[in-house]
Amino acid sequence: MNKDIHILAIETSCDETSMAIVKNGREVEALTIATQMETHASFGGVVPEIASRMHTESITLVLEETLKKFSGKIEDIDAIAVTYAPGLLGSLLVGVECAKTLSLVYNKPLIAVNHTMGHIYANNIEYEITYPTLALIVSGGHTDMLILKNETEMEVLGSTMDDAVGEVYDKVARVLNLPYPGGPKIEKMALEGKDTYELPKPMNDDSYNFSYSGLKSYIINLVHNERQRNHGIRVADLACSFQKTAVEELTRKVGLALKNTQIKNMILAGGVSANKYLREEMAKTCAEAGATFHVPNILYCTDNAAMIGCAAYPLFKAQKFADFTLNAKSSENIKKYIEDSQK
């Protein structure tokens, strides 16, 4: 008899304390997200010390709330999954220690999940990933292009060589005095503007790597120079031109990869995939290449524990469990993680 598998997942890598209960790697039975966004907004970015303290304050409440939403009891859970990397160390530690405690007290296996894998598997919630698929992860810390060959085999095609695309959205927003987190604010401003600023192309090559620091520095310098000369900045126009330039590079490289690999499925993931302009442009690129295109519901694009429960499921099936020596890691190279996990 095939028994349903329920995984309790924990995500505390940045400024969201989240827990979820996910059935069979796809069905979200309960989800709670306690965001600290407002607290950090007043500082213009996430303050790590405050983030970990707030996780400590809210984690038991989030657990209680999540269990209330679940039709079963904690004893019915089959495994405890947790994001252990990458992220803010102090924040990750709160989730990891909570997971280890629950695993010990309720005698449930522990599953260590890489946060980026979580973003990818968020695509399994409303659509079942079809293999092979090309995946692009665009977040505050990553710009990675991968081929998912099947549920467990993957290959990294390219990554960012410097700043991640989400980080650049946030930094451009900051220099334009738009509040944190900058991505959604830039998206909103861009709708009110026109593409009138001529900006340098991020990386005009045919590799699958990305580089956004040149574009970022160009915009920061432009804004500073114009301010020094008491010239006004057309914020909405600059937001529009920046977004167009940044997205064009993502779609161009995905188009290239789809053409070269002849893969006919594409998924987008990570916080920046909440961006409607990017979603629309990527859908067009995939349609032109004759590939299917999927992106998670906006709720599952930004940090949440449901995606961690989804990513934990293949590890559960492969019986890849962690022990109590599990520790948090602030950074983890995705390429190395994939190579190690396939050994």
Q: Which residues bind ligand AMP (CB under 6 A)?
A: 14, 119, 139-141, 166-167, 169-170, 181-184, 187, 270-272, 274-275, 302-303
Between 29 and 170, CB nearer to ligand AMP: 170
CB of 185 to ligand AMP, least distance (A): 8
Beta carbons within 8 Å of 77's beta carbon, 6+ residues apart? 6, 7, 8, 21, 106, 108
Token reading at 213: 């620091």
Residue 228 Cβ, how far from ligand AMP at the closest point, in Å?
Answer: 27
- The residue among 91 and 103 lying less far from ligand AMP, judged by its C-beta, is 91
Other CB atoms within a 10 A radius of the CB of residue 343 amount to 4
What does the DSSP assignment read for 62-113? Answer: HHHHHHHHSSS-GGG--EEEEEEESS-HHHHHHHHHHHHHHHHHHT--EEEE
Q: Which is nearer to ligand AMP, 245 or 302 (CB)?
A: 302
Residue 267, both tokens: 């998924």
Angle at the Cα of 98 (from 95 to 100), degrees rounded to 5?
110
Q: Is 97 in the site for Mg ion (CB under 5 A)?
A: no
**What part of residues 127-186 is at the interface with Mg ion (CB under 5 A)?**
139
Between 168 and 257, CB nearer to ligand AMP = 168
For CA atoms 124, 127, 130, 134, the dihedral sign is negative
The residue (of 51 and 274) whose beta carbon lies closer to ligand AMP is 274
Return the structure tokens found at 214. Answer: 């040149």
Report the nearest approach of ligand AMP to the CB of residue 15 (Å): 9
Q: With binding defined as CB under 5 A, does residue 303 bind Mg ion? A: yes
CB-wise, 181 or 202, nearer to ligand AMP? 181
Query: Residue 110: phi, psi to the nearest 5?
Result: -105, 135
User: Is residue 187 near Mg ion by the rule CB under 5 A?
Assistant: no
Interface of this chain with Mg ion, residues 240 to 279, rule: CB under 5 A: none
CB 181 within 8 A of CB 170: yes
Query: Which partner, Mg ion, ligand AMP, none, binds residue 166 by CB below 5 to 8 Å per kind?
Result: ligand AMP
Q: What residues line the site for Mg ion (CB under 5 A)?
A: 139, 303
